[in-house]
Amino acid sequence: MNDYVEKCLVSACLTGLSTRYDGKSKKNHSCMHCLQKTLWIPVCPEQLGGLPTPRPAASIIGGNGFDVLKGKAHVLDCNNNDVTSNFIQGAELVLSIAQSQKITTCYLKSRSPSCAINGNAGVTAALLIQQGIHVLEFD
Ligand code: SF4
């Protein structure tokens, strides 16, 4: 019997947790189906970065998540507050959870300044990709 169960990280909002900036969730049934035979851990980098829920919507100004990590772009919320350090802290905590749990695959939410992979990559996605972690995106 193979009792090895793959561990994964998943954007918390995709699992139905109400972690989004608007206080809502975005449960994705395809994602949950993919996670069926795994041991998954929900993470919300923006909450881990110390931001409240709900919170003002934020976006990356001047580039993408990779540029934020290089110090060449910033994350501003819709009230013009700079929340770059919150986003970087959240990304680093997600990475440290992945590394401590020997997790090599993360399932991330699209269209997010933290979690998006395609289009304008988010800060957490960029850090995970930089560290060689396999990332998959769901809407
Ligand atoms: Fe949190 Fe990422 Fe979902 Fe936004 S997209 S609520 S940062 S888990």
Give the E-state strand segments of the chain in sequence order: 7-11, 39-43, 58-61, 74-77, 105-109, 134-138
97 alpha-carbon distance from chain centroid: 12
For ligand 1, the distance from its centroid to the CA atom of residue 5, given in whole angstroms, is: 25
Residues 36 and 72: their CA atoms lie apart, in Å, by 39
Two tokens, residue 49: 């970065």
Residue 4: per-residue pLDDT: 72
Q: Which of 27, 68, 112 to mutate to test the pocket of ligand 1 (most atoms within 8 A of CB)?
A: 112
Residue 108: per-residue pLDDT: 98
Per-residue pLDDT of the chain (139 residues; tens, 9 = 90+): 456 789 999 999 999 999 999 999 999 999 999 999 999 999 999 999 999 999 999 999 999 999 999 999 999 999 999 999 999 999 999 999 999 999 999 999 999 999 999 999 999 999 999 999 999 999 9
Residue 3: per-residue pLDDT: 62
Q: Give me the amino acid identity at 114.
A: S
Coil, helix or strand at residue 138: strand
Residues 12 and 15: their CA atoms lie apart, in Å, by 5
Could you tell me if the CB of 115 is within 6 A of ligand 1?
yes
Could you tell me if the CB of 11 is within 6 A of ligand 1?
yes
Count of CB atoms situated within 10 Å of the CB of 103? 22
Where are the domains positioned within the chain?
6-138
Residue 2: per-residue pLDDT: 52
Residues 118 and 121: their CA atoms lie apart, in Å, by 6
Which of 37, 36, 46, 35 lies closest to 107 in space, CA to CA?
35
Residue 1: per-residue pLDDT: 46
For ligand 1, the distance from its centroid to the CA atom of residue 89, given in whole angstroms, is: 14
